[in-house]
Amino acid sequence: MTLGEALAWARQKIDRLDARLLLQYATGCTHADLLARPETPVVAPAFDQFAEWVARRAAGEPLAYLVGEAEFRGRIFQVSPDVLIPRPETEVLIDLALDRLAGRVSAAVVDLGTGSGIVAVSLALECPGTVVSAVDLSPGALAVARNNAGRLGARVDFHAGDWFAPLAGRRFDLIVSNPPYVADGDPHLEQDGLPHEPRMALSDQEPGGNGLACIRRIVAAAAAHLNPGGWLLFEHGYDQGAASRNLLAEAGFKAPFTHPDLAGIDRVSGAQL
């Protein structure tokens, strides 16, 4: 079978772009090769891998898990089913964090629930004066995050544990988090490839809850881990802005705000101690 024939076969089963990308990963060819030399033969092992990926993609498995990587802020991060797939909306959290770090010679930052490490690694690379720590409860996620930090040359101090538990006695200038915030039982958890992503990273899994359980814990404990004038920033769901601001105000933070993503949807809330 040739490259052109393999691509045509796959396009009958999955999205055209997904088919092309999977074929490139399986064979090592480029987009230019597909256009200029579609008659190039595909060796049997490569086609077998391609066919397996096409079947799994057709069954709803996310492309990033199939190929083991995803792009975020122009960098390639390795991913596995132990971590969420990076989403462009999380860039809002990083941009707001960088705004608060601008002009500082040094700062201590912690990323709670780091997952694949995209937030911690991005901040460490884009704001070199910061001392970045990262926490996650999942050993699998920490392994992925450590690997990404090493591959991309980011200095991040990783800790295993539940939110602030491994940070006793430590204070930071900035706390950031993209915690689980989808309510338990939300029908969206069964759509768009989400059944393949780690449930503990998506939902607080509080029966009958509103998805705010993890955010509530982070906000309540944050002040004890912030230096005077420190900031807390966290990502949340489209309908959780008002509740997040209320939690921040109740915890003694001043002037809580909510910032939208590029689609105009409430995405990140935060405040200063």
The answer to whether position 16 is within a domain reads yes
- Does residue 117 contact residue 148 with C-beta atoms inside 8 Å? yes
Residue 261 lies in a domain: yes
Whether residue 263 is found in the same domain as residue 189: yes
Beta carbons of 72 and 86 less than 8 angstroms apart: yes
**Do 42 and 103 fall within a single domain?**
no
Q: How many domains does the chain have?
A: 2
Span 209-225, pLDDT tens digits: 899 999 999 999 999 99
Residue at 79 is within a domain: no
CA-based Rg of the chain, rounded to a whole angstrom? Answer: 21
Distance in angstroms (rounded) separating the CA atoms of residues 109 and 123: 9
What confidence category does residue 207 fall into, taking pLDDT thresholds of 50, 70 and 90? confident
Q: What does the DSSP 8-state code read for residue 40?
A: P
What is the reported pLDDT for 206? 84
- Check whether residue 168 and residue 44 sit in a common domain: no
Yes or no: say if 219 and 247 are a contact pair by the CB < 8 Å rule.
yes
Domain assignment present for 80: no
Are 51 and 183 in a shared domain? no
User: Do 32 and 131 fall within a single domain?
Assistant: no
Clarify whether residues 38 and 114 are in a common domain: no
If asked whether residues 26 and 143 sit together in one domain, one would say no
Least confident of 26-35, 74-83, 190-199: 190-199
pLDDT (tens digit per residue) in 80-132: 999 999 999 999 999 999 999 998 889 999 999 999 999 999 999 999 889 99
Q: What is the CATH number of the domain that holds 225?
A: 3.40.50.150
Q: Above 80 in pLDDT, residue 193?
A: no
Question: Would you say 13 and 58 are in contact if contact means Cβ atoms under 8 Å apart?
Answer: yes
- 15 inside domain: yes
Beta bridge partners of 226: 172
Closest to 73 in 3D by CA, of 95, 101, 96: 95
Q: Which helix (H) or strand (E) holds 69?
A: strand 69-72
The Cα–Cα gap between 80 and 141 comes to: 8
Proportion of the chain above pLDDT 70, given as a percent: 100
Q: Do the domain assignments include residue 71?
A: no
Confidence band of 14 (pLDDT split at 50, 70, 90)? very high
Work out the widest C-alpha separation in the chain, in whole angstroms: 66
Q: Is 263 found in the same domain as 158? A: yes
Q: In sequence order, what are the residues at sequence separation of 6 or more whose Cβ sits closer than 8 angstroms to the Cβ of residue 82? A: 138, 140, 141, 143, 144, 198
Of 218, 132, 231, 148, give the one whose Cα is nearest residue 180. 218
Pair 120, 246 in one domain: yes
Q: Provide the domain limits for residue 42.
A: 3-59
What tokens were used for 258?
């909510």
Go through the chain and tell me how many residues it has: 273
Q: How far apart are CA 9 and CA 4, in angstroms?
A: 9
- Residues above pLDDT 90, as percent of the chain: 88
Task: Specify whether 136 is located in the same domain as 263.
Answer: yes
Which of helix, strand or coil describes residue 117?
coil
Q: Which of 40, 59, 78 finishes a domain?
A: 59
Distances (CA, A) of 107 to 65, 80, 87, 198, 230: 34, 31, 26, 31, 10
Residues near 44 by beta carbon (within 8 Å), at least 6 away in sequence: none
For residues 26 and 97, state if they share a domain: no
